[in-house]
Amino acid sequence: MQTDLENGFLVEISDAEMRSIQDAILKRYDVDFHNYEPKSFKRRLLRIYRKFNFTSSFDLWSRTLKDKDFIHEFINEVSVGLTALFRDPEFWQTLQELIKKEIIYQKEIHIWHAGCSSGEEIYTAGIIWEELKITHKVKSLATDISSNALNAAKSGAIVKAKAPEYQRNFLQFNPKGNFDQYFTEDAKNLYVKKEYFSYVNFVNSNLIMDELAYMDTDKYDIVFCRNVLIYFNSQAKTIVIDKIFKALKPGGFLIVGFLDSLVSYLDEDRFEYYNMNQRIFRKKI
C-alpha cells in the first residue's frame, strides 16, 4: 500500500490501489467508476482523503463498508462540476445562429443537458431561448450524477462573487444585452428568474450506467454534453455516445466541450461535423 504522505495525507495513489477502491465501490454500492480517466480520478480521490481525513485507502474502504450513505458524498466529491455562465461566448453566438437557421421554426424543441452540473449551462441556454423568443416551445431534460449539483441547478442561485465574470461573458455574447434583467438578487446571490428554467426536468442519473427508461429515441434536437466526456475512458465514451446517438433526432445536434476529444468515437456513418471549431456535430439523417 502507498505510504507517500504529506502532512499526514496521501499524495499519490497507485493504479492497483485506485482499482481496488473502484472494485469496492462497485461491489458495495453497484456504482461503477472503472471508466473514469485515471489521472483525474486519482486527483479527486486525494481530495476526498483530505476532506474526510483519510490517511490511507484502508480508511476509505472501512468508511465505504460501514456507512451505507457515504456513496452520495463520494459521488458528489468525485464529480467536480466546473462550469460558468456563457462559458465560451463565441460558442453561444454560433449556437444562436444555428437555432435561427435550423430549429426556430419547429413547434416544440427538445433539449438534453447531459452532465448539467450546477446549472450555469442551463441558465445560459434559457437566456438565449428568451432572447430568441422560443422559451414557450422548449422542453429540457437536465441530468447529472451529482445530487449536490442538481440541487444547486434547481435553485437558480449564483454567488455574487462570480457575477462580474459572468457579466463579462454575457456582454461578449451580446454587447447590447442587459444582463441584470434575467436575475433577482439578495445580499449573497443572484437568482436566475424562474421563467428561464421552469421548463427543465432535473434527473439524477449516471450517464454510463443508467438507462433513461423514460427517454424516447430520436427525440432531442440538441444534446449538450460539454466537458463531461473528458473524464471518461474510451469504453465509457463509446457507451455514452451510443446513448446520445439514440436519443438524438436524425438531423439533431450533439455539442461537446473543447477538450472532449471525440473524433474517433463519432463514426462517419452516424455523425457529421456541423461546426468543427465549436465542436458541434450532427446526427446523419
Ligand X SMILES: C[S@@+](CC[C@H](N)C(=O)[O-])C[C@H]1O[C@@H](n2cnc3c(N)ncnc32)[C@H](O)[C@@H]1O
Give the nearer residue to ligand X in terms of CB position, either 226 or 249: 226
* C-alpha cell recorded at residue 131: 432572447
State how far the Cα of 279 lies from the Cα of 257, in Å rounded to an integer.
Answer: 7
Residues within the interface to ligand X (CB under 6 A)? 79, 81-83, 87, 115-117, 120-121, 144-146, 149, 206-208, 226-228, 231, 257
Question: Closer CB to ligand X, residue 2 or residue 225?
Answer: 225
User: Which residue number, 55 or 204, has a Cβ lying nearer to ligand X?
Assistant: 204
Q: In 3D, which of 131, 137, 144 has the Cα closest to residue 83? A: 144
Torsion sign, CA atoms 151, 117, 174, 220? negative
Nearer to ligand X, 35 or 135 (CB): 35
User: Of 210, 221, 262, 269, which is closest to residue 238 (Cα–Cα)?
Assistant: 262
Element at 147 (helix H, strand E) = helix 147-155
Shortest distance in whole angstroms from residue 233 CB to ligand X: 12
User: What single DSSP character describes residue 159?
Assistant: E
What is the total residue count of the chain? 285
Q: Is 86 exposed, middle or buried (0-12, 13-18, 19+ CB in 10 A)?
A: buried
Q: How far is the CB of 110 from ligand X (least distance, A)?
A: 17
**Least Cβ distance, residue 8 to ligand X (angstroms):** 29
Beta strands, E only, 146-199: 157-159, 183-185, 189-192
Q: Which is nearer to ligand X, 213 or 285 (CB)?
A: 213
Q: How far apart are alpha carbons 115 and 121 in whole angstroms?
A: 10
Q: Which is nearer to ligand X, 75 or 266 (CB)?
A: 75
User: Which residues fall within 8 angstroms of residue 203, CB to CB, at 6 or more apart?
Assistant: 141, 142, 143, 150, 212
Residue 146 CB, nearest distance to ligand X (Å)?
A: 4
Q: Are 83 and 48 in contact (CB under 8 A)?
A: no
Which is nearer to ligand X, 83 or 94 (by Cβ)? Answer: 83
Minimum distance between the CB of residue 232 and ligand X, rounded to whole angstroms?
7
> Cβ 225 to ligand X, closest distance in Å?
7
Least distance from C-beta 121 to ligand X, angstroms? Answer: 4
